[in-house]
Amino acid sequence: MESRCISEIIEQKVINRIDQTKECSDRDIKEFISNAMSEIEKYVILSDNEKVQISNTVFNSRRRMGIIQPLLDNPEVNEIMINGTQNIYIEKNNKLFQISERYNSKDFLYNVIQTIASRAGRVINESTPIVDVRLEDGSRLNAVLNPVSLNGPSVTIRKFAEKPYRMEDFIKSGTITQNECDFLIFAVQNRANIFISGGTSSGKTTFLNVLASYIPEDQRIVTIEDCAELKLKHPNIVKMETRNANSEGKGEISMRNLIKASLRMRPDRIIIGEVRDESALDMLTALCTGHDGSMSTGHANSAKDMLVRLETMALWEGHVSSAAIKRQIVTGIDLIVHLKREEDMTRKVVEISEISYLEQQEIIVTPIFLNGEEIGKCSKRKLIK
């Protein structure tokens, strides 16, 4: 009898046992599996390796992420993409692979997603078919259900390295040059407001985490994120995370709420994980009210495109003019660092630019580094050594 068939038999026995128990701990589940295994061994001879494999498969199926749990446990896997029950892809060592395993049941995959979301205090169902969740290990999970996802429940998991990246790692991998590194560390320590832009999976959050590690320990930091991903080891830090509305449409805590709350916490610096809506106006306001040295990230194709996006998002608020927003951008942001994911899946800093001044209602952006080459100088006093 194949291990897969035995796993299914044992899992069904465990399910039947769980139905008779109101609450089960991990220890209870493991005991149920062990008992079911003992029954099976009366009829089938199993090696020690087979027993361990079957036990792990059933436990992962009941308590964790099922067939992808080994991928989550593998430090070489950076990203996991589940396309319903059709296939599963992973990014490993900067390359994309399709794995042989896949979920056979949409209902089972749906139940896994619901369980994870509920543990994190999030809701996902037909009326709320999209969710972002932070897993226990710090990984970020995005899930989309029917009817939005036409090929069944789709899941994307972005993993983060257990060992935090350092600037030395970026230099070694070619993400950044030594001159760019020295310049940005100087800028952080001299309280420049820095915005990090880039496309999806270009490494914005990881890079932000490394830059923020150079903030002096005697300063107070407040971080604001939709899904907490930053891992700053700083003695004086307040970490805040947004919250979706409950099933009754109540209890939502938006990024705008948190930005406003952060201003009452005596922050020296405010770090906003990603700006993607009208909260851009609140972020710009915070940057213009004495919180020098703050940072944030956003999606864009270039530094100039990021400024257009910021302006557009801030205009969604509806009561501020384009001219006023542009003045806030010029006043509030000193530098834009643009990251790009290359075709070979490596990440690189392709542009570091200064937000210089406003001329005839156009924001003048001055490149300092392009593709690792220094091509300009800063005009702002605090960025001049």
Around Cβ 32, how many Cβ atoms within 10 Å? Answer: 23
Domain boundary among 132, 162, 192: 162
Q: Are residues 209 and 357 in the same domain?
A: yes
Residues 334 and 374 in one domain: yes
- The confidence score (pLDDT) of residue 61 equals 66
pLDDT band at residue 309 under the 50/70/90 scheme: very high
Q: Check if the beta carbon of residue 146 is closer than 8 Å to that of residue 129.
A: yes
pLDDT in tens, 115-148: 788 777 778 888 889 988 888 777 888 999 988 9
Cut 0.85: pTM above it: no
Same domain for 154 and 116: yes
Q: Which of 145, 162, 179 is the last residue of a domain?
A: 162
Q: Which residue has the tokens 């005596």?
A: 266
At residue 11, the pLDDT reads 73
Report the amino acid identity of residue 346. T
Same domain, 285 and 197: yes
- Residue 332's φ and ψ, nearest 5 degrees, are -90, -25
State how far the alpha carbon of 189 is from the alpha carbons of 121, 186, 224, in Å.
37, 5, 21
Instruction: Please say if the pLDDT value at position 169 is more than 60.
Output: yes
Q: Are residues 140 and 176 in the same domain?
A: no
Q: In terms of domains, do 156 and 88 share one?
A: yes
Beta partners for residue 241, in sequence order: 225
Phi and psi at residue 126, to the nearest 5°:
-65, -35
CA distance 30 to 28: 5
Residue 34: the pLDDT is 83
> Could you tell me how far CA 146 lies from the centroid of its own chain?
23
How many domains would you assign to the chain?
A: 3
Co-location of 224 and 365 in the same domain: yes
Mean pLDDT, residues 204-217: 94
Residues 233, 197 share a domain:
yes
**CATH code, domain carrying 262:** 3.40.50.300
Range of the domain at 17: 1-63
What tens digit of pLDDT does each residue of 321-371 get?
A: 999 999 999 999 999 999 999 888 889 999 999 999 889 889 999 999 999
Residues 1 and 42 placed together within one structural domain of the fold: yes
Q: What is the pLDDT of residues 69-122, one digit of tens each?
A: 788 888 889 899 999 999 999 998 878 999 988 888 888 788 788 878 877 777
- Partnered with residue 156 across adjacent β-strands are 81, 142
Domain match, 125 and 174 both? no
The answer on 43 and 130 residing in a single domain is no
Helices (H), 202-342: 204-212, 255-262, 279-287, 303-315, 322-332
Domain stops at, among 19, 39, 63: 63
Look at residue 23 in the predicted model and tell me its pLDDT: 61
Q: Please report the pLDDT score of residue 197 as a whole number.
A: 96
Q: What is the mean pLDDT of the chain?
A: 86
Q: Which helix (DSSP H) or strand (DSSP E) does residue 99 occupy?
A: strand 95-99
pLDDT at 247: 66
- Cβ contacts of 304 within 8 Å, gap of 6 or more: 365
**For position 103, what pLDDT does the model report?**
84
Contact predicate 90/345, CB 8 Å: no
pLDDT at 21: 46
Place of tokens 């605090």: 382
Q: Do residues 222 and 368 share a domain? A: yes
